[in-house]
């Protein structure tokens, strides 16, 4: 029996796309092989489940044919359904079995391919038949200040990328492009196959030219004609102002590249380092400010080193313990020129022991009814 993808992600069969995405992000973060205590096999299993359930067509096929419908495991590499063929059934045993009708022999051996084409071509292909690279993920830690105001970070990642020498064409720079002999320049291959279910006509993208109808006369020396190479790539990430701890950023087309296809996406989880003074509540920044009893009674003015520069804060006389001062427009940017507020929680330090003079002063205050 095949895997239960809903059980793997820990969601109900009625789960929405958002629920499935949230469950995937949580488990992918937990099992990521680059993390301490990660589990590569479980990470791949979670990714496999997500690739099926996040795609409407694949999810429909999976729901229709049950847990045995393992159409994801080998889809990245070859566009096929699972090891047992479509729906868990292997028709290869019927190959050249000699069944016929009026002397016409049926080919049972290609039913796996027929069903694969008929129901979408398997994982690793987008609608229309073009191949798509694998989605990948990583994590990045940024400072609290950068999370508030935004920043640009550059990092290196080893992955399969489009060849810079040939720009993904697979041809030597300057070489002529010739008509693909496999598809005669059509970019697609039309096939008609007969089976005991009838005749199936299928159209698929030509593997040799990737659908362009053209192939280079001379291959690129760097990628050997594949159009992709595995190397260390510098990636620039623009982190927006106000991003929260644990948020996931998606870089479209920055995942694994694939020969004569479309690159996958890169997901970057943002981890925000805590700040020694400030914390975030919604779009507001919150901090504590310690005051002497005399400052609380008589008022004072204090200079605070805020995230975007120093500001002067006036503390009115007679403030109470845990009273909050609000400085408007000094919080988290909210888009445009709007920002949240800075909330300053006042902590009044009460003396543990009084000197003789201090006691005399307090007694006088007591006589005044204070």
Stated pTM of the model = 0.58
Backbone angles phi, psi at 35, to 5 degrees: -85, 155
CB atoms within 10 A of CB 264: 22
pLDDT at 179: 87
Residue 242 resides in a domain: no
- What is the pLDDT confidence band of residue 152, given thresholds at 50, 70 and 90? very high
Q: Rounded to whole angstroms, what are the CA distances from 216 to 113, 168, 171, 204, 334?
A: 28, 11, 5, 21, 51
- Tell whether 352 is covered by a domain: yes
Buried b (16+ CB within 10 A) or exposed e, 18-53: eebbebbbebbbebbeeeeeeeeebbebbbbbbbbb
pLDDT value, residue 66: 58
Q: Given this model, what pLDDT does residue 336 score?
A: 79
How much is the average pLDDT of 176-182?
A: 86
Share of the chain above pLDDT 70, in %: 80
pLDDT, average across residues 338-366: 85
123 pLDDT more than 50: no
Inform me whether the pLDDT recorded for 149 exceeds 80: yes
Band of the pLDDT at 368, cuts 50, 70, 90? confident
Range picked from 88-92, 102-106, 115-119 for highest mean pLDDT: 115-119
Average pLDDT over residues 252-278: 93
| 322: DSSP letter | T
Tell whether the model's pLDDT for residue 88 goes beyond 60: no
Query: At 249, is the pLDDT very low, low, confident or very high (cuts 50, 70, 90)?
Result: very high
List Cβ neighbours of 312 (8 Å cut-off, separation of 6 or more).
301, 302, 303, 304
What Rg value do the Cα atoms of the chain yield, rounded?
32
Mean pLDDT value across residues 339-357: 88
How far is 364 from 370, CA to CA, in rounded Å?
9
The model's pLDDT over 272-314, given as tens digits with 9 standing for 90+, comes to 999 999 999 999 999 999 998 889 888 999 999 889 899 999 9
Q: Which domain holds residue 301?
A: 279-367
Per-residue pLDDT reduced to its tens digit, 315-338: 999 898 889 999 999 999 987 789
The pLDDT value given to residue 211? 77
Is 333 within a domain?
yes
74 is a domain residue: no
Banded model confidence at residue 204, pLDDT cuts 50, 70, 90: confident
What is the rounded CA–CA span in Å between residue 3 and residue 86?
14
Task: Report the number of secondary-structure helices (H) and strands (E) in the chain.
Answer: 9, 19
CATH of the domain at 334: 2.60.260.20
Indicate whether 184 belongs to any domain. Answer: no
Q: Which of 44-53, 85-94, 110-119, 166-175 has the lowest mean pLDDT?
A: 85-94
pLDDT in tens, 20-71: 988 988 888 888 876 777 888 888 888 888 888 988 888 887 887 655 554 3
Confirm whether 30 is domain-assigned.
Answer: no
The reply to whether 258 falls in a domain is no
Given a cut of 70, whether residue 116 has pLDDT beyond it is: no
Which residues does 119 contact at the CB level (< 8 Å), separation at least 6?
57, 61, 71, 86
pLDDT at 238: 95
Q: How far apart are CA 213 and CA 178, in angstroms?
A: 8
Question: How many structural domains comprise the chain?
Answer: 1
Element of type H or E holding 364: helix 356-367
115 falls within a domain: no
């Amino acid at each position: 029996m095949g895997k239960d993808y809903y059980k793997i992600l820990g969601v109900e069969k009625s789960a929405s796309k958002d629920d499935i995405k949230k469950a995937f992000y949580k488990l992918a973060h937990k099992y990521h092989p680059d993390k301490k205590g990660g589990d590569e096999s479980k990470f791949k299993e979670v990714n496999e489940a997500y690739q099926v359930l996040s795609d409407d067509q694949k999810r429909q096929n999976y729901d229709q044919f049950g847990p045995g419908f393992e159409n994801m495991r080998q889809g990245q590499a070859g566009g096929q359904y699972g090891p047992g063929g479509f729906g868990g059934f292997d028709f290869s045993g019927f190959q050249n079995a000699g069944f016929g009708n009026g002397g016409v022999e049926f080919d049972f051996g290609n039913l796996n391919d027929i069903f694969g084409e008929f129901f979408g071509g398997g994982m690793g292909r987008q609608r229309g038949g073009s191949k798509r690279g694998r989605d990948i993920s990583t994590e990045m830690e940024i400072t609290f200040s950068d999370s508030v105001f935004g920043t640009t970070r550059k990092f290196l990642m080893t992955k399969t990328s489009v060849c810079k020498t040939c720009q993904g064409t697979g041809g030597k720079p300057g070489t002529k492009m010739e008509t693909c002999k496999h598809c005669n320049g059509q970019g697609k291959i039309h096939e008609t196959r007969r089976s005991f279910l009838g005749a199936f006509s299928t159209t698929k993208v030509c593997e040799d030219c990737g659908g362009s109808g053209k192939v280079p006369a001379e291959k690129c020396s760097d990628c050997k004609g594949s159009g992709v190479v595995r190397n260390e790539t510098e990636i620039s990430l623009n982190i927006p102002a106000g991003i929260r701890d644990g948020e996931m950023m998606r870089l479209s087309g920055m995942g694994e590249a694939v020969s004569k296809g479309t690159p996958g996406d890169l997901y970057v989880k943002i981890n925000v380092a805590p700040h020694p003074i400030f914390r975030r509540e919604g779009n507001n920044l919150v901090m504590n400010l310690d005051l002497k009893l005399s400052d609380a009674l008589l008022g004072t003015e204090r200079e605070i080193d805020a995230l975007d520069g120093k500001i002067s804060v006036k503390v009115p006389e007679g403030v109470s313990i845990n009273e909050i001062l609000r400085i408007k427009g000094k919080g988290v940017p909210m888009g445009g020129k709007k920002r949240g507020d800075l909330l300053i929680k006042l902590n009044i330090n009460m003396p543990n022991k009084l000197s003789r003079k201090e006691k005399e002063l307090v007694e006088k205050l007591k006589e005044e009814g204070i």
